[in-house]
Amino acid sequence: MNGDDPINIALTDTIDLHVFHPADITAILDEFLNNAVLQGYLQVEIIHGKGKSVVKHTVHNYLKNDKRVLQFFDKSANWGRTIVILKKEV
C-alpha cells in the first residue's frame, strides 16, 4: 500500500475528522452527510477536536449552510464533538 491507495472507511452515524487533512474536511463532510441521509439517520456525530479548533470552525461553517441540516450543537461544553440533527426530507 502506498500513499495514493484509497482508504476504506466503515460508514456509521459518527465520524472522527482527526485522521483527515484539514483541506479535505468539507468534501469528507459532504460524503458523510450524503451517507447519513441514504442510511436514514436523523442524528449524527462529528468529532473534530477540542478548544478553538480550526476543524471545528470549518465544520460549523459548513453545517450552517447545508440544506440537510436542521440544527447542530456541541455535544457538551467544549468536548470536541458536534451533534447534527438532519432534516427528515431534503
Please report which confidence band the pLDDT of residue 14 belongs to, taking 50, 70 and 90 as the band edges. very high
Query: Does residue 9 lie within any of the structural domains?
Result: no
16-44 mean pLDDT: 93
Q: Are strands 14-16 and 43-47 parallel, antiparallel or unpaired?
A: parallel
51 domain-assigned: yes
Number of domains in the chain: 1
Q: Would you say residue 27 lies in a domain? A: yes
Which ranges in the chain belong to alpha helices (H)? Answer: 25-39, 54-64
In a domain, 22, yes or no: yes
**Residue 25, φ and ψ in degrees, nearest 5:** -60, -45
What span, in angstroms and rounded, lies between the C-alpha atoms of 7 and 53?
Answer: 25
Q: 48 is in which domain, residue-wise?
A: 15-86
**Residue 57 located in a structural domain:** yes
**CATH number of the domain within which 60 lies:** 3.30.1370.110
Residue 75, in any domain of the structure: yes
Structural domain includes residue 30? yes
- Residue-wise pLDDT for 32-88, tens only, equals 999 999 999 999 999 998 766 788 899 999 999 999 999 999 877 667 899 999 998
Q: Is residue 6 included in any domain, yes or no?
A: no
Task: Give dist(CA 19, CA 4) in Å, integer.
Answer: 15
Q: What is the pLDDT of residue 79?
A: 74
